[in-house]
Amino acid sequence: MRELACDVAVIGAGTAGLAAYRAATEAGARAVLIERGPGGTTCARVGCMPSKLLIAAAAAAHAARNTDLFGVRVSGVAVDGPAVLTRLRAERDRFVGSVLEGLDDLPAEARVDGSARFIDGRTLAVGDDVRIRFRAAVIATGSSPIVPKPLRGLGDRLLTTDTLFEIADLPDSLAILGAGAVGIEIAQAMARLGVAVTVLDAGATIAGLSEPNLTRQAAGIFGAELDLHLGATLERAEPEGDRVRLDWTDCHGRGQVTRAARVLAAAGRAPNLADLDLAGAGLRLDEDGIPEFDHGTLICGGAPILIAGDADAWRPVLHEARRQGKIAGANAALLADGQPVRAVTPWTSLAMVFTHPQAAAIGAPYTPDADDRVIGAMDFSDQGRARVEGNNQGGIRIWADRDGRLLGGEMLGPAVEHLAHLLTYAVADGLTARDVRARPIYHPTVEESLTTALAGITGTENT
């Protein structure tokens, strides 16, 4: 048995784990990084980067087929599925390689390969051969795709985001369970690449939107490109010849059947915590098996253990995971040294979906019938720059308190990834609608749409 001792043990070498390790060592702590493989962050390997590569290919195909609006005639557009996926994997592997280079640069004594589990609140076992005594530990084990029970047993006909990008060619048809960020991104991309796509979701929302008008618009926009069913309940799924048969109930309670070559489970991701023996560490767990933790310090109750990134299921996106990792690593070093930890105010919430049109949710969530809010709205259908580009779909909803202080909003439209950042900064800085409207906006730009929406809050003309 190999015995090790360290100040900080970090479990997981993804975005949060790497950030935690670096923060701990920069604070002067002796840190050990434990990784069971395959290595590379979720974002680089199976998340945001490969999905954006698929979306980029789909956008190129869609643009080539839809030039008539501008008087440009294009014919003979063909999608080479293997070529699309070959480029995707090559670029994906480049992103993963840059992450793994960072791991290779770590001292050999700072890395331990294998699956970790807690023996007690101060000791980890890694496999059967290594035991690590720590002063503080950071759980950064990431997450894995959720596979709903009806889809289990489909073998290689079932895809998740962990396996989707490894297929050799595009299927002729694909059923997707889930219309959230990942599901609708992949659905639209596949449809634009020539795949017959059906999307089923038990909820009434789409692309992370909750404001009713924007949700209706999103359903109409995406539903025009693929077979979309909200309020649908999957009853069973089974192989049928070379297809998969899905039996489901629609929003009106009627039984339906869909057949597809492959099925993608896009119903979210669950923290990788099952193998850690958290009870052995003395941690208090919630009803989902996630350790109870303080959102400012990321310290779990009951032991000198912190949690960060997808493992805590709090705000599972890369920029949040990196920040949480830095906080957890720095606080773990302080705990190990017997020093007071630091609480950090969470960032303003920001979530994006990279469909076309794009979608985003910022700050405080939409609250129906809230009488303490003022809502400003705009529609992209007649927005100047959007019409020039032929991207005039969707709209913006921004909410503020009665004094005009901006609280949050939702967006569906062109350039939303940029517009959402502007609103996020305004909310984070505590600005009012008048504050933002007093700042320069160039003409003609999509950013002018913010001025239009904010005019509904200030009650002034859009000038």
> Does residue 125 share a domain with residue 189?
no
Q: In what order do the strands lie in the sheet with 358-363?
A: 350-353, 358-363, 406-413, 395-401, 373-379
Residue 44: per-residue pLDDT: 62
> Does residue 84 share a domain with residue 7?
yes
> Does residue 296 share a domain with residue 440?
no
> Does residue 277 share a domain with residue 134?
yes
Residue 395 · residue 382 · CB < 8 Å: no
Residue 37: per-residue pLDDT: 74
Could you say which DSSP state residue 101 is in? Answer: H
Task: Give pTM, 2 decimals.
Answer: 0.93
> Does residue 17 share a domain with residue 135?
yes
Given 233, 267, 301, which residue is the final one in a domain?
Answer: 267
Residue-wise over 244-259: b if at least 16 C-beta within 10 A, else e?
bebebbeeeeeebebe
From first to last of its 463 residues, the chain has per-residue pLDDT tens of 789 999 999 999 988 999 999 999 999 999 999 998 766 666 666 667 899 999 999 999 999 999 999 999 999 999 999 999 999 999 988 887 777 666 767 888 889 999 999 999 999 999 989 999 999 999 999 999 999 999 999 999 999 999 999 999 999 999 999 999 999 999 999 999 999 999 999 999 999 999 999 999 999 999 999 999 999 999 999 999 999 999 999 999 999 999 999 999 999 999 999 999 998 999 999 999 999 999 999 999 868 999 999 999 988 777 888 899 999 999 999 999 999 999 988 899 999 999 999 999 999 999 988 889 999 999 999 999 999 999 999 999 999 999 999 999 999 999 999 999 999 999 999 999 999 999 999 999 999 999 999 999 998 655 4
Domain that holds residue 285: 2-145+270-336
Residue 110: per-residue pLDDT: 87
Residue 302: per-residue pLDDT: 66
> Does residue 288 share a domain with residue 159?
no
> Does residue 239 share a domain with residue 280?
no
> Checking DSSP bridges between strand 123-126 and strand 233-240, what pairing results, if any?
unpaired
Given 252, 267, 282, which residue is the final one in a domain?
Answer: 267
Continuous H helices in 169-282: 181-192, 212-223
> Does residue 120 share a domain with residue 254?
no
Residue 15: per-residue pLDDT: 87
Residue 227 · residue 197 · CB < 8 Å: yes
Residue 341: per-residue pLDDT: 94
Residue 178 · residue 266 · CB < 8 Å: yes
Is 341 inside a domain boundary?
Answer: no
Given 267, 282, 315, which residue is the final one in a domain?
Answer: 267
Specify the number of domains making up the chain.
Answer: 3
Is 377 inside a domain boundary?
Answer: yes
Q: What is the CATH number of the domain that holds 108?
A: 3.50.50.60
Could you say which DSSP state residue 227 is in? Answer: E
Is 345 inside a domain boundary?
Answer: no
Residue 197: per-residue pLDDT: 98
> Does residue 137 share a domain with residue 198?
no
Residue 209 pairs in a beta bridge with 206
Is 209 inside a domain boundary?
Answer: yes
Q: What is the CATH number of the domain that holds 412?
A: 3.30.390.30
> Does residue 139 share a domain with residue 13?
yes
